[in-house]
Amino acid sequence: MAVDKNKHSDQGQMDKQRDLKGALTSGQMQMIALGGTIGVGLFLGSAATIAWTGPSVILAYAFMGLVLYLVMRALGEMIYINPTTGSFADYATNYIHPVVGWITSWSNIFQYVIVGISEVIAVGTYVNYWYPNVPGWTSGLVVLVMLTLANLVSVKTFGRLEYWFAMIKVLTIVFMIIFGMLMIIFGFGHHGQPIGFSNLWSHGGFFTGGFKGFMFALAIIAGSYQGIEVLGITAGEAENPRSSIAKSIHSVVFRILIFYVGAIFVIVTIYPWNQLGAIGSPFVETFAKIGITGAAGIINFVVLTAAMSGSNSGIYSASRMLYKLGNDGYVSQKIAKLSKHQVPYRSILSISFGIFLGLLMNAYFDHFSNIGSKLFVIVYSSSVLPGMVPWIVIIISELRFRHAHQHQLVDHPLMMPWYPYSNYFAILALFVIVIFMFINPDTRLSVCIGAGYLIFLTITYFIWAKHHPDFK
């Protein structure tokens, strides 16, 4: 298939996307990235990762954070020069092959639709804490309608909503870290007796699961970090894209590392790692220890907002990628039609309808079959491998981007550090993690399903290309 390079040039992509309104501030972009990455799993306890590797889970989160730092610096280098909506899919098309751009776009849509479904389902569970007689699908539907309307109103409304959702999560984690350290060092909330740091090595050592357990944990942690690349989707709707992107890239990775690594450090220091499975949420237990009454209700509210945040980000991210596919001519251009508020309303409604179908299917299986929860877990976990596609694409694309834009890299504030060795390190780390996902019997099925989905996307692209030989 012949591909016109001018059609897919960076400037061409920017020209076609000028109708999207640039309304997201740097602060909103940072909070959107934080909100998309810090999810429900952290608040309810990262039991699976801790069970695999014990206290060394701290290093696992830090190592994965290093890989993500390199991914974001590579992304920052490229979008600082060419800020477009769905930017990393453009880079895949321009610097690797159009089939990779196709796979990246649809993988991103699949990932965020699945995330959106999981979060609106979770909403029902959290609402039942206060209103046990309300059907879970009802609560999920109400939230889905509310978030869809917020996305339809304007991108600024989405940004404000996501900013406050993320702020609630961030403040909760900050309080958790502060109070946890006071408990560890000064015995605050523990009858004045410092807990100390002995739980890091007193229950079977620091690396309780050995090398294999550490690598198994990394595979699960990779899934928990997914969403940070959303900055590459928001770029086309940012106010003052270059300054907003520079500020966001510089700060967001370190903030995520502080929040994740800091919270996990406090958890495994306060509580013996092999007892965490029996205490429920470490956040609830920590706040309860320092005398905050109603700690369970507070954390339930926080995870409710976290679920709403995840669904909100899912609708936004997937709709923008679907808009990009329509804008580029890979699907009907009708899907890219903008409303008077300059948002792709047909893309938003399509993604919300997909989430709605998932909500209905989950309700059906829960009511009429005992395989509902198992089926959903398999589908959700199968999105982890497609969710890693943008990271790999970003790292590989930057290798070629650097050669094509050398004259624009003078005084560039976001150049990839230690290039090209950092690229090779990140690619190797991600591929090794995928290998261990296949080795681990608990994640083997999900990674196989994810791989099957990627193969399906590849086949559909070449079928599409065969029927569009003149596509330029």
What sign for the dihedral angle of Cα 374, 309, 93, 404? negative
Lowest mean pLDDT segment, chosen from 74-88, 200-214, 325-339: 74-88
201, two tokens: 């090595």
148, two tokens: 């869809």
Write down the pLDDT at residue 4: 43
Give 46's pLDDT tier (boundaries 50, 70, 90): low
Give the pLDDT mean for 300-329: 88
Lowest mean pLDDT segment, chosen from 4-13, 114-123, 212-221, 287-296: 4-13
H-only helix segments in 369-383: 372-381
For residue 306, give the nearest of 118, 175, 57, 86 by alpha carbon: 118
Q: Given a cut of 60, is residue 184 above it in pLDDT?
A: yes
Angle made by CA atoms 389, 85, 428, in degrees to the nearest 5? 20
pLDDT digits (tens, 9 = 90+) for 210-229: 889 899 888 888 877 887 77
257: amino acid identity, one letter: L
- Please list, in sequence order, all residues whose beta carbon lies within 8 angstroms of the beta carbon of residue 155, skipping any fewer than 6 positions away: 20, 21, 23, 24, 237, 342, 343
pLDDT digits (tens, 9 = 90+) for 370-407: 665 566 666 767 788 898 999 999 999 999 998 888 88
Give the pLDDT mean for 26-32: 73
Cis peptide bond N-terminal to 420, omega within 30: yes
Q: Given a cut of 80, is residue 110 above it in pLDDT?
A: yes
Q: Which residue has the higher pLDDT, 44 or 282?
A: 282
pLDDT digits (tens, 9 = 90+) for 234-267: 766 767 777 777 777 777 777 778 888 898 899 8
338: amino acid identity, one letter: L
Q: How far is CA 203 from CA 147, 266, 271, 384, 448, in A?
A: 45, 16, 11, 31, 35
Write down the pLDDT at residue 257: 80
List, as own/partner pairs, every contact residues 355-360 make where C-beta atoms lie below 8 angstroms and the sequence separation is at least 24, other chains included.
355/113, 355/116, 355/117, 355/120, 355/144, 355/311, 355/314, 355/315, 356/141, 356/144, 358/113, 358/114, 358/116, 358/117, 358/121, 359/117, 359/120, 359/121, 359/137, 359/140, 359/141, 359/144, 360/137
Contact 56, 208 (CB under 8 A): yes
For residue 267, give the nearest of 197, 168, 188, 190 by alpha carbon: 197
Which range, 144-148, 363-367, 439-443, is most confident? 144-148
Q: How far is CA 258 from the centre of its chain?
A: 17
Residue 416 dihedral angles phi and psi, to the nearest 5°: -60, 120
Write down the pLDDT at residue 322: 93
311, two tokens: 């669904």
Write down the pLDDT at residue 290: 74
For residue 37, give the nearest of 285, 323, 317, 393 by alpha carbon: 317
Residue 69 CA to residue 11 CA, distance in Å, equals 27
Residue 462 CA to residue 472 CA, distance in Å, equals 15
- Residue environment code for 432-466, b if the CB has 16+ CB neighbours within 10 A, otherwise e: ebbebbbebeebeebbebbbebbeebeeebeeebe
Contact 123, 140 (CB under 8 A): yes
- Residue environment code for 392-425, b if the CB has 16+ CB neighbours within 10 A, otherwise e: bbbbbbbbebbeeeeeeeeeeebbbeebeebbee
> Can you name the residues that pair with 238 across neighbouring β-strands?
24
Average pLDDT, the chain: 83
Residue 154 CA to residue 443 CA, distance in Å, equals 39
Give 457's pLDDT tier (boundaries 50, 70, 90): very high
Q: Given a cut of 70, is residue 91 above it in pLDDT?
A: yes
What domains can be seen in the chain, in order of their start residue? 20-405+412-465 (1.20.1740.10)
Give 58's pLDDT tier (boundaries 50, 70, 90): very high
User: Distance between terminal CA atoms of the chain?
Assistant: 9
468, two tokens: 């569009």
Give 7's pLDDT tier (boundaries 50, 70, 90): very low
Q: Given a cut of 90, is residue 310 above it in pLDDT?
A: no
Lowest mean pLDDT segment, chosen from 200-204, 296-300, 365-369: 365-369
Q: Given a cut of 90, is residue 104 above it in pLDDT?
A: yes
Q: How far is CA 143 from CA 122, 162, 344, 376, in A?
A: 11, 14, 20, 20
Contact 97, 458 (CB under 8 A): no
21, two tokens: 């309104």
Give 280's pLDDT tier (boundaries 50, 70, 90): low
Q: Given a cut of 70, is residue 40 above it in pLDDT?
A: no
Q: Given a cut of 50, is residue 12 above it in pLDDT?
A: no
Contact 35, 147 (CB under 8 A): no
Write down the pLDDT at residue 1: 40
Q: How far is CA 434 from CA 207, 391, 444, 451, in A?
A: 21, 13, 10, 10
pLDDT digits (tens, 9 = 90+) for 135-148: 888 999 999 999 99
